[in-house]
Amino acid sequence: MIPADLVVSGISELATPEGKTALAGPDAGRLKIIHGAAVACHEGRIVFVGEEAECIATVQPTRDCTPVDAAGGTVLPGFVDAHTHLPFAGWRETEFDERLHGASYSDIASRGGGILSTVEAVRAMDRKSLAALVRGRLNDVLAQGTTTAEAKSGYGLDPETEIMQLEALGDAGSGHPVQLATTFLGAHTVPKEYRDNRQGYIRLILDEMLPQVARRRLASFADAFVDANAFSVEEARMILEAAKGHGLKVRLHADQLADDGGALLAAQLEAVSADHLEFASDEGIEAMAAAGTCGVLLPAATFFLMMDRKPPGRRLLDAGVPVVVATDFNPGTCPCESMSAAVWFACLTAGLGVDEAITATTLNAAASLGLAKEVGTIEVGKRADLVVHDFPNRYHLVYRFGIPRIKAVVAGGKRVV
């Protein structure tokens, strides 16, 4: 008999992608489906997945075993949110109202609002209060079914505050059920004090920030925003090549507001991901497929910016790019932290089917973070991260859009919600 200290039963439908690597093309839509399922966990790991009758016959609950009754619900892997800007301070609701009255995101950025207004708010925080903010947000996303999340700096834009953001992430994440992966985004935009000295800011990233971030292992990834209001392809290339030299893996904010050649740059850098991609060229997408670079769609942000462009979900799938869907949670372009919402928008605006969207928010997202051996599927040996949804099958995840219906969350083998 297999010992188990947590058993989920009463599952109407269990749906999960399988494996330890990202799935592309038709494989992305092939889930394992078990009706009348049960999942058993022990010491934080999944030890059994299968039909309930077999579970009863082969699994021995320990004396202190936690039973979780799915009561006819659907069980999916915990969501992996592969793109967030979690350590921010303040909101930007008045800029949002300006956008509702016709101002564009770029107009607001070019007159010093946007990212730079959040930079001001973060520079006014100390590490402890920022960590407390982040911890509250981790609790919120956990309740929304996110069990692993990426989080970026990028609202400090000076060595001290960029490092402080990464330290606050470390403080908030330590011992928290949500597993965090951290990204250094010093190249988010050029701060005010360097407006007339871009080269000076780039030198600061290269000479001070990157070496410290790498030496102190404050981040696993480096990211840059290629955009008219941020960095050119050549500037981002220089920064991210240096980041690779320090042993960091690379992600990229690419082709969000125009075709800047970001997708191609990501492929040339062998980046683990290129994110946004609304304006990505065919050439860029083909290069990403050849390089194995994941395409991270942020369809809630595309929607919130009221863009005419749709996220290129179908184009990426057809080209064989592993597709990831994430929130982009941040105060400017996506103040929504719900992965259920990201899934709705992925299916309703980006051309993904429900099964492809599940793969994109679990296994593929984990793969883009280098965590697919650990999380992203419900399979024996993986970390026991799973969500019980209050509906009878996976299609309801999108079909009944508008309200997430999360009944229980198990993270690291413990019922946390």
* Residues contributing to the site for ligand NIG (CB under 6 A): 85, 114-115, 118, 225, 253, 256, 301, 328, 330-333
CB of 287 to Fe ion, least distance (A): 21
Q: How many other CB atoms sit within 10 Å of the CB of residue 33?
A: 13
Contacts to Fe ion by CB under 5 A: 328
Q: What angle do CA 262, 148, 244 make, to 5 degrees?
A: 40
Nearer to ligand NIG among residue 105 and residue 344 (C-beta): 105
Which residues lie across from 389 on neighbouring strands?
74, 406
CB of 136 to Fe ion, least distance (A): 20
Q: Where are the alpha helices (DSSP H) in 307-376?
A: 313-319, 339-349, 354-360, 363-368
Nearer to ligand NIG among residue 13 and residue 227 (C-beta): 227
The token pair at 201 is 């800011």
- Give CA–CA dist 168/136, Å, rounded: 12
Which listed option, Fe ion, ligand NIG, none, makes contact with residue 147 (CB within 5 to 8 Å by class)?
A: none
Which listed option, ligand NIG, Fe ion, none, makes contact with residue 118 (CB within 5 to 8 Å by class)?
A: ligand NIG
CB of 276 to Fe ion, least distance (A): 7
CB of 185 to Fe ion, least distance (A): 8
- Give CA–CA dist 137/144, Å, rounded: 11
* H-run or E-run covering 117: helix 115-123
CB of 209 to ligand NIG, least distance (A): 18
- Give CA–CA dist 32/16, Å, rounded: 5
Strands 32-42 and 294-297: unpaired
Which listed option, ligand NIG, Fe ion, none, makes contact with residue 332 (CB within 5 to 8 Å by class)?
A: ligand NIG
- Give CA–CA dist 253/225, Å, rounded: 5
Nearer to ligand NIG among residue 260 and residue 356 (C-beta): 260
* H-run or E-run covering 133: helix 127-143
Nearer to ligand NIG among residue 77 and residue 87 (C-beta): 87
**26, exposed or middle or buried, with CB in 10 Å at 0-12, 13-18, 19+?**
exposed
Q: How many other CB atoms sit within 10 Å of the CB of residue 229?
A: 17
CB of 114 to ligand NIG, least distance (A): 5
CB of 116 to ligand NIG, least distance (A): 9
Which listed option, ligand NIG, Fe ion, none, makes contact with residue 256 (CB within 5 to 8 Å by class)?
A: ligand NIG
Nearer to Fe ion among residue 298 and residue 386 (C-beta): 298
Which listed option, Fe ion, ligand NIG, none, makes contact with residue 345 (CB within 5 to 8 Å by class)?
A: none
Nearer to Fe ion among residue 276 and residue 383 (C-beta): 276
Residue with tokens 């999942």: 39
State the residue number with the nearest CB to ligand NIG.
332
Nearer to Fe ion among residue 81 and residue 328 (C-beta): 328
